[in-house]
Amino acid sequence: MKPWNQIPIIDNTEPLISIEKYFKFIDPHPYYKLGAPYKNKSKIWSLRKGVVDKLMNANKLLKIINKNYSLIIYDAWRPIEVQSFMFNRALETELNRKGLSISKDKINNHPEVLKKVERFWAYPDLNKKYPPPHSTGAAIDLTIIDGSGDLIDMGCEIDNLDGKSVPDFYKNSSSKDGMLWNIRRNLLKNVMCYSGFSQHPNEWWHFSYGDQLWAWQNDFKKAIYGRI
């Protein structure tokens, strides 16, 4: 359980809306391509309406700063079934990396594996008091593309499971590439946070508005979006 899971949720019942006509996005969806069980494909690219409004502001701000840049969406709302699929996939990947062959019911014997996976992938808890951020429609994974539609290099790929994923990993880098990646990450963070989002402490690509993490980081007494 994360520290922000103690924040109570009073959902404002705002609906999910499609973001396809507002933003560019990775196509096909990275997780759908892997076989993630989306029951309703038409809702893959969806977020809460309030999140969409703020994201549009962030994209406008980014373009003011650099007219050749745009936000591109990697992942948005994630139903709990998809969260479970991706969590278990990350768990299996990490077990394979360590050369471990064990059943999932024995995973508690390897807390270091669980800890690493849960640092990046929220546990797919069915208790609505502790929803994974993406399952609320409040969280989004995104990055920046240039005027040619190419992803700009941010120092590591989205969903990378190591220290390079931490937003300020390159803060003290003295290499030319490292300093450039730090500038780009700060640009993304600044346009998103200025627009009302909070950044996940372990993931440079993950931002949210209205969920428990957002409330916790801003010292708010409640979150306004729960699992949907």
Which residues belong to the active site?
Answer: 203
Report the 3 state secondary structure along the chain.
Answer: CCHHHHCCECCCCCCEEECCCCCEECCCCHHHHCCCCCCCHHHCCEEEHHHHHHHHHHHHHHHHHCCCCEEEEEECCCCHHHHHHHHHHHHHHHHHHCCCCCCHHHHHHCHHHHHHHHHHCCCCCCCCCCCCHHHHCCEEEEEEECCCCCECCCCCCCCCCCHHHCCCCCCCCCCHHHHHHHHHHHHHHHHHHHCCCEECCCCCCEEECCCHHHHHHCCCCCECCCCC
Which residue bears the tokens 């700063």? 65
Contact predicate 170/181, CB 8 Å: yes
Token readout for 8 is: 């109570």
Contact predicate 62/144, CB 8 Å: yes
**CA gap 113, 89 in Å, rounded:** 13
